[in-house]
């Protein structure tokens, strides 16, 4: 066994221990058997064993100088993923990482100092970037300028990038129609808190709420125009004064605040007012009553983002065309929304049986991967349309 050492082992030292050339060690450790290169199995085993004993790790900077691909994908948007409680990006990122690792890519996430730098790109070379929701304009500009493949999850992209977003407009329509179908005619909207990050969903959900109520001949409750800061004040005005029988909340965070403070106001959910929100998060199923919601297809978004990025990496820069793909959200029926007369609908249990820990069986199924690949190829044929909707 080799003795412990304080210095970093090199290819040259491994070659000396094994009695082979530096080039042979480099090719074996990098899996490079091109141009007819071969080596006896016992020599390969000796090289890999010696590299392990010496604690050798490849020099990524050196590899980047000689390879066209680094096999590294960067994930940026640190503040989005870790700066807000139980957001959708944990599942989305997990699925993207799983698929990219299956294609032999390593993943790195960075938390750059934006007080010092105006770009969030890592200081080392990468083959592509996944952006979670947002990044600085300078970062988009630099990726576009250098033709670096990138995909934005739940946010806008530049002309050469790709974006995967949930369809918030259609989801809001579906939510209003569901509450209307239960018999609600006084539907309030609880918007985002002042702490929420600016996002296109803020405008899309509220404007669709007002437009859909108008289409149905209903009047919007004015509380939806104001920032949501105090749950008790909101409930007092929307429910006790405006007589709302249902509330559609901007997301699960706002809904949980309402659910927590309703008893303080003497308001029972769902007996007195139904509550519905956006985002399919674990907490929505463990609170009482469990929250009826529109769930973004988090895993599907991550899987599709990874597939789009892999496709971009394989394409020449001049052939890449930007596109935004909208994915349909799904209605998840739970106990927090019932008819205004207080009777639970018989469909509540039936439509909830196909759920596993808050996520669709069909989204988790491996067979869905083939469908996503087919969807990408189909969209490629129509990529000039720019925005597509995926059911």
pLDDT 10s digits, 124-167: 889 999 999 888 888 999 999 999 999 999 999 999 999 999 99
Q: How many CB atoms lie within 10 A of CB 23?
A: 12
Instruction: Report residue 326 as tokens.
Output: 């909208």
Q: How confident is the model at residue 287 (pLDDT cuts 50, 70, 90)?
A: very high
Q: Which of 57-71, 204-218, 260-274, 327-341 has the lowest mean pLDDT?
A: 57-71
Q: Is 388 exposed, middle or buried (0-12, 13-18, 19+ CB in 10 A)?
A: middle
Average pLDDT value over all residues in the chain: 82
Q: Is the dihedral of CA 350, 354, 359, 362 positive or negative?
A: negative
Residue 380 has pLDDT above 60, yes or no: no
The pLDDT of residue 192 is: 92
Average pLDDT over residues 252-260: 95
Average pLDDT over residues 262-277: 96
The pLDDT of residue 163 is: 96
Termini Cα distance of the chain = 59
The pLDDT of residue 57 is: 75
Give 281 or 68, the one with higher predicted confidence: 281
Residue keyed to tokens 């730098």:
117
Average pLDDT over residues 354-382: 38
- Is residue 64 a contact partner of residue 124, using CB atoms and an 8 Å limit? yes
Q: How confident is the model at residue 224 (pLDDT cuts 50, 70, 90)?
A: low
pLDDT 10s digits, 182-209: 999 999 999 998 877 778 899 999 999 9
The pLDDT of residue 349 is: 37
Specify the DSSP element, H or E, that contains 106.
strand 106-109
| Axis-axis angle for helices 41-54, 22-30 (nearest 10) | 90
Residue 359 has pLDDT above 70, yes or no: no
Q: Residue 232: beta bridge partners?
A: none
- Is residue 134 a contact partner of residue 197, using CB atoms and an 8 Å limit? yes
Quote the CA–CA distance of 248 and 231 in Å, as a whole number: 13
Give 203 or 376, the one with higher predicted confidence: 203
The pLDDT of residue 386 is: 44
Residue 62 has pLDDT above 70, yes or no: no
Average pLDDT over residues 227-233: 90
Instruction: Report residue 378 as tokens.
Output: 């189909």
Candidates 25, 17, 19; CA nearest to 59 is 25
Provide φ and ψ at 362, rounded to 5°: -70, -30
Residue 22 has pLDDT above 70, yes or no: yes
Residues 6+ apart with CB under 8 A from 360: 295, 297, 330, 354
């Amino acid at each position: 066994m080799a003795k412990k050492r304080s210095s970093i082992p090199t290819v040259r030292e491994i070659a000396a221990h094994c009695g082979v050339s530096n080039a042979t060690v480099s090719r074996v450790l990098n899996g490079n058997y091109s141009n007819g290169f071969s080596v006896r199995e016992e020599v390969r085993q000796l090289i890999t064993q010696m590299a392990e004993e010496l604690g050798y790790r490849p020099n990524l900077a050196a590899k980047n100088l000689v390879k066209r691909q680094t096999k590294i994908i960067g994930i940026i948007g640190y503040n989005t993923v870790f700066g807000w409680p139980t957001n959708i990006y944990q599942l989305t990122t997990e699925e993207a990482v799983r698929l990219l690792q299956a294609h032999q890519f390593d993943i790195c996430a960075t938390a750059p100092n934006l007080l010092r730098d105006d770009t969030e790109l890592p200081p080392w070379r990468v083959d592509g970037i996944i952006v979670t929701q947002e990044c600085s304009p300078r970062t988009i500009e630099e990726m576009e300028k250098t033709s670096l493949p990138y995909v934005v999850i739940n946010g806008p992209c530049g002309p050469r990038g790709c974006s995967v977003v949930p369809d918030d407009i259609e989801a809001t329509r579906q939510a209003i129609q569901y509450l209307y179908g239960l018999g609600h005619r006084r539907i309030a909207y609880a918007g985002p808190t002042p702490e929420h990050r600016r996002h296109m969903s803020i405008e899309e959900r509220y404007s669709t709420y007002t437009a859909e109520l108008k289409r149905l001949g209903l009047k919007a409750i004015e509380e939806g125009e104001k920032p949501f800061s105090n749950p008790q004040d909101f409930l007092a005005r929307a429910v006790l004064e405006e007589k709302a029988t249902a509330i559609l909340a901007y997301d699960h965070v706002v809904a949980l605040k309402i659910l927590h403070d309703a008893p303080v106001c003497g308001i029972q959910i769902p007996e007195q007012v139904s509550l519905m929100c956006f985002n399919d998060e674990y907490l929505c199923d463990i609170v009482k009553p469990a929250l009826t919601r529109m769930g973004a297809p988090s895993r599907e978004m991550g899987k599709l983002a990874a597939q789009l990025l892999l496709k971009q990496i394989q394409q020449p820069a001049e052939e890449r065309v930007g596109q935004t793909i909208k994915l349909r959200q799904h209605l998840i029926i739970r106990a927090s929304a019932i008819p205004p007369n207080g009777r639970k609908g018989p469909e509540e249990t039936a439509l909830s049986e196909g759920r596993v820990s808050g996520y669709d069986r069909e989204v988790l199924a491996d067979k869905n991967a083939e469908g996503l690949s087919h969807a990408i190829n189909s969209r490629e044929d129509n990529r000039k349309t720019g925005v597509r909707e995926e059911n």
